[in-house]
C-alpha cells in the first residue's frame, strides 16, 4: 500500500506501544465523535512485532518498588485481562522470591499492591517461603530465599501473537499500518512543531500529532528531534549530576530449554506462575562447578516448546546506536551454564537441563533512559514520545493513557514519567534489585 501524502495522526513504530496507542486513539476518536481509525497511519520500517515486542519474554507483572510503576502496571494488567484471547495472554500469576536484602522492598511493594487492590500474597521467613513453594512444586529446593511475593494477577503473553492481536484490533478500527516504511527525518517548523516526516517511501505530512514509539531505536529518534545526547539530572537530595547520557544500552540475557512444557506444571497439574528467583545461596552447575557465591537471579516461565527465561542484563559498552539487533546472538557465552544451573538450583526436575538448552538467537538490546525509567511525554509541541526504557511489553495499557492525552486529557498515571523530572529531581525511588527494571 502506498504511503499517503498526509495523515492527521502519524504513529511511528508498530510494537506494543505504537499499536496500543493507535488502537486506543482510534477508539477514543470514534467514541467521542472526533474521528476514527482512518485518521491514523502507523509506520514501521519492517512490520508489526519486528522490534523488541516480538522477542520479549512476555512476562506481565506488577512487582515494582516504585509506586508510579506499580499503579501504571495495574492499569496495564486491566488491559491484558480485557481480551485474553486476542492478546494471547496467560493469567498464570507471577512469583518473586528474594534474599534478605530484598525483603523490605518486596514488603513495601506488597503493601502498596494491597492498597491499590492488586491481588497478591506475601510470605516471609525461609521455612515459610520453602513450604509455599513446595506446595506448588514438590521438588522445589532453592536456598536462601526469605521473602516471596506471589502475585495472583499477571503472568505472560505470547509476544508476536499479542502484537498481531493488537494489529488486528487497529485494522478493525480503520487504522492503516504501513510496513516497510523507514522514517529518516522530520521537518520542524519555527516553533519546533513537526510538520512532516521523511521516509524511505516518500514524505508524509503530520496533520495534527506525531507519536514515536521506537523501542530500542529511541536514541535515533531522540537525535532526529534535535534533543540533547546528555542531560543534567537533579537528584532527590538536590545535587545536580551534569552531562548524564540520556540513553544507554543493556543486553538482555535470555534463553530456553527444549523440554515437554507440561513437565513444568504445579503439583495439581495446573499451569505454573512465572517465577523470578533471586538468592545469594552459592550457585553451582550440576557437575559441581561454582558459578557464583554472590547475589544472583533468574526468571523463567513455561513456553510453547519448553521453558524460557533469563537473568540480569549486561551493560553494552560499544555503540549499538544504529543496529540494536545485531544478527548474531546477544547472549553472554556463560549465560546458558548460569541460567540452567539456576533452574536446577530451583527444582530437581530441571537437573541436567543444560543438555536441553536451545542454541538459538535470543535475548536482545534495550535502550534505557538516564534514570532507567520510561519517558512518556510531549517532546516537541505536537510530538508525543512513548519511550519505555525497556520496561514495556507488559505495559500494553500505556497506549490507552497516551490516547487520552492525545485528545486533550490529563493522565495521572503517565504524569510521573514526564521528561521534566530529570530537571526537577522528581525521580522514582530505587530498589535493592540488581535489575535495572525493578
Ligand X SMILES: Cc1cc2nc3c(=O)[nH]c(=O)nc-3n(C[C@H](O)[C@H](O)[C@H](O)COP(=O)(O)OP(=O)(O)OC[C@H]3O[C@@H](n4cnc5c(N)ncnc54)[C@H](O)[C@@H]3O)c2cc1C
CB of 183 to ligand X, least distance (A): 4
Let me know the angle formed at the C-alpha of 102 by 367 and 309, rounded to the nearest 5 degrees.
50
Closer to ligand X by Cβ: residue 146 or 431: 431
129 or 246, CB closer to ligand X? Answer: 246
Decide whether 91 or 144 has the Cβ nearer to ligand X. 91
Which window, 207-215, 261-269, 290-298, 413-421, contacts ligand X (CB under 6 A)? 207-215
- Cβ at position 110, least distance to ligand X in Å: 20
Shortest distance in whole angstroms from residue 179 CB to ligand X: 9
Q: What residue spans of 58-155 are helical by DSSP H?
A: 67-82, 84-87, 103-116, 126-136
* CB nearer ligand X, residue 58 or residue 144: 58
The answer to whether 18 contacts ligand X (rule: CB under 6 A) is yes
Of the candidates 384, 32, 53, the residue with the CA atom closest to the CA atom of residue 221: 384
Instruction: Tell me the torsion sign for CA atoms 402, 403, 404, 409.
Output: positive
Closer of 295 and 375 to ligand X (Cβ): 375
Within 158-187, the residues that bind ligand X by CB under 6 A are 182-183
Q: Which three cell numbers stand for residue 22?
A: 493507535
Triad 16, 363, 264: Cα angle to 5° = 90
- If DSSP codes are grouped into helix, strand and coil, which group holds residue 188? strand
Nearer to ligand X, 13 or 35 (CB): 13
Cβ-based neighbour number of residue 72 at 10 Å: 27
In the block, which residue shows the cell 513446595?
Answer: 134
57 is a contact residue toward ligand X (CB under 6 A): yes
Instruction: Tell me: does residue 217 bind ligand X (CB under 6 A).
Output: yes
Q: What is the rounded CA–CA span in Å between residue 291 and residue 293?
A: 7
Residue from 71, 173, 278, 388 touching ligand X (CB under 6 A): that is 388
Q: Please choose, out of 14-22, 34-42, 136-144, 240-248, the segment that lies near ligand X by the rule CB under 6 A.
A: 14-22
**Among residues 56, 164, 257, 312, the one that binds ligand X under rule CB under 6 A:** 56
Shortest spacing between CB 51 and ligand X, in angstroms: 2
C-alpha cell at 103: 525483603
Between vectors from CA 74 to CA 172 and to CA 102, what angle results, nearest 5°?
Answer: 140
Asked if 390 interacts with ligand X (CB under 6 A), we say: yes
Q: Tell which residue, 376, 380, 372, 382, has the closest CA to residue 436.
A: 372
- 91 lines the binding site for ligand X (CB under 6 A): no
Question: Is 213 a residue that touches ligand X (CB under 6 A)?
Answer: yes
Which residue among 24, 45, 349, 421 contacts ligand X (CB under 6 A)?
45
CA angle at 102 for the pair 371 and 303, rounded to the nearest 5° = 80
Q: Where on the phi/psi map is residue 328: left (φ > 0), alpha (ψ -120 to 50), or beta? A: beta
Taking CB under 6 A as the binding criterion, the range among 28-36, 134-142, 209-217, 424-432 that sits at the site for ligand X is: 209-217
In angstroms, give the least distance from the CB of 320 to ligand X.
Answer: 12
- 8 A C-beta contact, residue 154 and residue 301: no
How far apart are CB 352 and ligand X at their closest, in Å? 26
Exposed/middle/buried for residue 413 (C-beta within 10 Å: 0-12, 13-18, 19+): buried
- Taking CB under 6 A as the rule, does residue 276 contact ligand X? no
**Longest alpha-carbon distance in the chain:** 66
Rule CB under 6 A: say whether 22 interacts with ligand X.
no
Distance from the Cα of residue 197 to its chain's centroid: 27
DSSP class per residue in 369-388: -TTSS-EEEEEETTEEEEE-
Q: Which stretch binds ligand X (CB under 6 A): 25-33, 131-139, 290-298, 386-394?
A: 386-394
d(CA 99, CA 278): 6
- Contact range with ligand X by CB under 6 A, out of 106-114, 142-150, 288-296, 359-367: 359-367
The residue (of 11 and 233) whose beta carbon lies closer to ligand X is 11
Interface residues with ligand X (CB under 6 A) are 12-18, 43-46, 50-53, 55-59, 182-183, 213-217, 252, 254, 363-364, 366, 388, 390-394
Amino acid at each position: 500500500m502506498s504511503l499517503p501524502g498526509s495523515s492527521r495522526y502519524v504513529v511511528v513504530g508498530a510494537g506494543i506501544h505504537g499499536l496500543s496507542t493507535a488502537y486506543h486513539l482510534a477508539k477514543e476518536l470514534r467514541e467521542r465523535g472526533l474521528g476514527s481509525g482512518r485518521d491514523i497511519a502507523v509506520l514501521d520500517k519492517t512490520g508489526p512485532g519486528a522490534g523488541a515486542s516480538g522477542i520479549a519474554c512476555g512476562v506481565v507483572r506488577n512487582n515494582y518498588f516504585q509506586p508510579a510503576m506499580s499503579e501504571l502496571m495495574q492499569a496495564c494488567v486491566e488491559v491484558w485481562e480485557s481480551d485474553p484471547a486476542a492478546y494471547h495472554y496467560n493469567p498464570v500469576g507471577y512469583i518473586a522470591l528474594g534474599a534478605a536484602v530484598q525483603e523490605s522492598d518486596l514488603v513495601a511493594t506488597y503493601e502498596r499492591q494491597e492498597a491499590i487492590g492488586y491481588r497478591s500474597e506475601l510470605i516471609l521467613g525461609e521455612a515459610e517461603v520453602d513450604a509455599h513453594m513446595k506446595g506448588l512444586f514438590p521438588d522445589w529446593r532453592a536456598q536462601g530465599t526469605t521473602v516471596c511475593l506471589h502475585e495472583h494477577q499477571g503472568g505472560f503473553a505470547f509476544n508476536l501473537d499479542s502484537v498481531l492481536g493488537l494489529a488486528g484490533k487497529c485494522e478493525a478500527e480503520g487504522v492503516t499500518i504501513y510496513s516497510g516504511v523507514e522514517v529518516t527525518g522530520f521537518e520542524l517548523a519555527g516553533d519546533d512543531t513537526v510538520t512532516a516526516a521523511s521516509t524511505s517511501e516518500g514524505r508524509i505530512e503530520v496533520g495534527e500529532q506525531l507519536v514515536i514509539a521506537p523501542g530500542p531505536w529511541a536514541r535515533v529518534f531522540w537525535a532526529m528531534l534535535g534533543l540533547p545526547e546528555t542531560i543534567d539530572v537533579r537528584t532527590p537530595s538536590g545535587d545536580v549530576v551534569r552531562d548524564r547520557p540520556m540513553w544507554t544500552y543493556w543486553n538482555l540475557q535470555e534463553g530456553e530449554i527444549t523440554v515437554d512444557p507440561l513437565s513444568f506444571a504445579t503439583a495439581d497439574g495446573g499451569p505454573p506462575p512465572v517465577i523470578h528467583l533471586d538468592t545469594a545461596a552459592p550457585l553451582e552447575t550440576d557437575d559441581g562447578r561454582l558459578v557464583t557465591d554472590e547475589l544472583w537471579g533468574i526468571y523463567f516461565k513455561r513456553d510453547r516448546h519448553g521453558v524460557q527465561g533469563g537473568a540480569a542484563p549486561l551493560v553494552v559498552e560499544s555503540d549499538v546506536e544504529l543496529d540494536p539487533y545485531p544478527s548474531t546472538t546477544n547472549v553472554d557465552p556463560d549465560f546458558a551454564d548460569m541460567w540452567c544451573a539456576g533452574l536446577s538450583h530451583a527444582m530437581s526436575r530441571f537437573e541436567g537441563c543444560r543438555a536441553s538448552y536451545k542454541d538459538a538467537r535470543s535475548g536482545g538490546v534495550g535502550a534505557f533512559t538516564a534514570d532507567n525509567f520510561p519517558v512518556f511525554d510531549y517532546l516537541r509541541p505536537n510530538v508525543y514520545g512513548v519511550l519505555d526504557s525497556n520496561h514495556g511489553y507488559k505495559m500494553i495499557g500505556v497506549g490507552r493513557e497516551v490516547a487520552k492525552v492525545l485528545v486533550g486529557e490529563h493522565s495521572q498515571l503517565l504524569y510521573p514519567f514526564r521528561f521534566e523530572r530529570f530537571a526537577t529531581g522528581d525521580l522514582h525511588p530505587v530498589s535493592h534489585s540488581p535489575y535495572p527494571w525493578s
